[in-house]
Amino acid sequence: MEHIGHWVAGRRVPGSSGRTAPVHDPARGVQTAEVALASAGEVDEVVAVASEAAASWGASSLTTRATAMFRLRELLDAHRDDLAALVTREHGKVLDDARGEVARAIENVEFACGVPHLLKGSVSSEVSTGIDVQTVLEPLGVVAGITPFNFPVMVPMWMMANAVACGNAFVLKPSEKDPSASLLLAELVQRAGVPDGVVNVVHGDAEAVDALLTHPGVAAVSFVGSTPVARHVYETATGNGKRAQALGGAKNHMVVLPDADLDAAADAAISAGYGSAGERCMAISVVVAVGDIGDALVEAIAARIPDVVVGPGDDPTSMMGPLISEQHRDRVRGYVTGATEEGARVVVDGSTPPRPDGFFLGCSLIDDVKPGMRVYDDEIFGPVLSVVRAASLDEAVSVINAVPYGNGVALFTRDGAAARRFQRTVQIGMVGINVPIPVPVASHSFGGWKDSLFGGTPIYGPEGLRFYTRPKVVTSRWPGGAGSAIDLGFPTTR
C-alpha cells in the first residue's frame, strides 16, 4: 500500500504521527493508498521550516520571484496530463474536466508572473514642502492554505501563486481525500527555482488544520471548503490574531426567463448541473423557471439526460465520473429518494447506481421543489438538479436572495434590461448572464457573499495580492530643504 507523506524543506517525508487516512480510486471503489495525518507537533516543525525560508524569500528581488513564476508556468504546462491523471485517479472527475482544472490553475501562475508590475505600490510626491509619501507592499511571512477535495490542483494554485510571488512562504494542507496532486505541484515549484522551505505540504485532518489556525508563526490563513468548516476556520484564525479568508459552500441558481434560448438553457443546465458529478462549488443546483417556459424547459433537460455517459474518468467516452466517496454517494442518493415524500416530483431518478463498482450515481432531475424542502435548503454536492417555478423575475430574485449562500448565479435571457435589473438586485458575489458557471478569470478575483465567504476578501487576482501583502507607508523628508524648527503642534501639510 502506497504511503503518501508530506513535503517539507524540499523533500518528501513520511508522516510520524502514526495516524493515516485511506485514499480511494472512486471509479473502482478500492483503496489505493494511505495518507499521513500530521500531528500538531509535525505542523510546528513545518511552520519552523517555512518561517526560516520566508525571511530570505521575502527579501529576494521581484525579478527572482517573477522568473520562478515564468518557469513554473512552463513546468505546469509540460505536466498538464500528469496532474490531470492524478486528479482523475483520486477525485474521479473525467480527464477532460481535470485538464480544465489544470488550465485554470495555470492562469493564476500567469497572473503572478506580473508581480513586478502588480506590487508597484504608490508614491505621492511633495505632499508637504520637501515631504514625500510612499506605500510599499510587503509580504506577511508564513501563510497557510487549507483546500477542499473538489479541485486538488486549481484551488491550491488560487492561493500558492500569489502567496509565493508576493514573497511569503506557503504551507498547504490539502484535502486528505485526494492528496497526491499537491506533492507533484510542490516538486514543480522546486524545479522552478523556488528555494526549499518556501512551499511545504502537510497532510492531515482537523488536528493539522487547528494547529495551523492557532500557530503563532502563521500570519494568514486562506480556506476553501464547506460552510461549517469555513466558519470555524474564520473564527479560530481571527481569534488567534490572523488575517483570514474562508470560502464556504454554495447553492447556485440558474434563472431562465420565458424569452431565453431554450436549447442553450437546457444544454447549460446539463453541463453546469452534472459536470464533475455536481461536485463544484459553482455547479448549478437549482433551475428557476420563470413564467410559462417551465414545462418545456423541464422536458428539454430530461430529454438530454440519457446522453450523459457515466463512467470512469479515465475512459475517454465518460462524461461524468463517480462521487468522491461511498458515504457521500449515499448521502446524495438520500436527497433523491426522499424528494417525493417532501412533496417534490422526481422527473428523472438517477439514484440507482449505474455501475456495480465505484461510487457512481446517475443524473437526477426534480421538479416542483420549494424552499423549506431539504433537497432545496441543503448543499447536495452531487448530480441532482432541482427545478423551482417562479411567476416573475422579481419573484425569482427574492427566492435567491433569501438563500444563506451567495456564491454564483446565472440568468438566461435575451432581454438586456432584465439582465441589468437582475445583476443589480441579486445578492450574490459572482453573476453569469447567459454564462452558467461564472468563475472569474485570474485577472479578476473569486468570492461569494454571505455564507459562501467569511472575511470579505475574495481570493486570487488583485484581491489575492492585497490579502498576501501588507501596506507600509513611508513619509520622508531629506535634509537640505527647508530649515528645521521646534513645533509641538500636530503635523499638518503646508
Alpha-carbon dihedral sign for residues 287, 293, 299, 305: negative
- Select which of 113, 166, 281, 363 is catalytic: 281
C-alpha 264 chain-centroid distance: 27
Report the C-alpha gap between 65 and 443 in whole angstroms: 18
Q: Which is nearer to ligand NAD, 142 or 247 (CB)?
A: 247
# residues near ligand NAD by CB under 6 A: 28
Q: Which is nearer to ligand NAD, 62 or 103 (CB)?
A: 103
Question: Among all residues, whose Cβ is closest to ligand NAD?
Answer: 225
Q: Which is nearer to ligand NAD, 248 or 321 (CB)?
A: 248
For residue 263, CA distances in Å to 215, 364, 384 come to: 53, 19, 20
Catalytic residue list contains 281: yes
- In the complex, the smallest distance separating the C-beta of residue 465 from ligand NAD, rounded to whole angstroms, is 18
Instruction: Give the range of 13-21, 170-178, 186-194, 214-222 binding ligand NAD by CB under 6 A.
Output: 170-178
Instruction: Give the range of 11-19, 55-63, 247-255, 420-428 binding ligand NAD by CB under 6 A.
Output: 247-255
Q: Is 205 in the site for ligand NAD (CB under 6 A)?
A: yes
Report the C-alpha gap between 19 and 268 in whole angstroms: 43
At 131, the amino acid letter reads I
- In the complex, the smallest distance separating the C-beta of residue 269 from ligand NAD, rounded to whole angstroms, is 19
- In the complex, the smallest distance separating the C-beta of residue 324 from ligand NAD, rounded to whole angstroms, is 7
Q: Which is nearer to ligand NAD, 47 or 390 (CB)?
A: 47
- In the complex, the smallest distance separating the C-beta of residue 309 from ligand NAD, rounded to whole angstroms, is 25
Instruction: Give the range of 171-179, 290-298, 389-397, 415-423 binding ligand NAD by CB under 6 A.
Output: 171-179
Q: Which is nearer to ligand NAD, 320 or 390 (CB)?
A: 320
User: Which of 112, 199, 260, 281 touches ligand NAD by CB under 6 A?
Assistant: 281
Q: At what angle do helices 154-165 and 62-78 cross, to 10 degrees?
A: 160
Q: Are 9 and 197 in contact (CB under 8 A)?
A: yes
Q: How many CA atoms lie within 13 A of 20 on its CB side?
A: 18
User: Which of 209, 344, 399, 428 touches ligand NAD by CB under 6 A?
Assistant: 209
**Among residue numbers 127 through 146, which ones bind ligand NAD (CB under 6 A)?**
146
User: Which of 7, 111, 149, 274 touches ligand NAD by CB under 6 A?
Assistant: 149
Q: Is 162 in the site for ligand NAD (CB under 6 A)?
A: no
> Cell 432545496 identifies what position?
376
**What are the contacts of 188-194 at 24+ separation with CB within 8 A?**
188/72, 188/75, 188/76, 188/79, 189/72, 189/160, 189/164, 190/10, 191/71, 191/75, 192/68, 192/69, 192/71, 192/72, 192/75, 193/67, 193/68, 193/71, 194/57, 194/68, 194/72, 194/164
User: Which of 153, 161, 194, 224 touches ligand NAD by CB under 6 A?
Assistant: 224
User: Which of 225, 275, 436, 438 touches ligand NAD by CB under 6 A?
Assistant: 225
Q: Burial letters for 47-84: b for 16+ Cβ neighbours within 10 Å, e otherwise? A: bbbbbebbeebbeeebeebbebbebbbebbeebbeebb
Q: Which is nearer to ligand NAD, 71 or 251 (CB)?
A: 251
Q: Is 167 in the site for ligand NAD (CB under 6 A)?
A: no
User: Which of 51, 88, 147, 182 touches ligand NAD by CB under 6 A?
Assistant: 147
**Residue partners of 485: CB distance under 8 A and separation at least 6:** none
Per-residue contact string for residues 448-487; x = within reach of ligand NAD by CB under 6 A = x---x-----------------------------------
**Residue partners of 16: CB distance under 8 A and separation at least 6:** 39, 42
Report the C-alpha gap between 97 and 106 in whole angstroms: 14
Per-residue contact string for residues 350-389; x = within reach of ligand NAD by CB under 6 A = -----------------------------x-x--------
Residues that bind ligand NAD (CB under 6 A): 146-151, 155, 173, 175-176, 205-206, 209, 224-226, 229, 232, 247-250, 281, 379, 381, 407, 448, 452
Known catalytic residues are 281
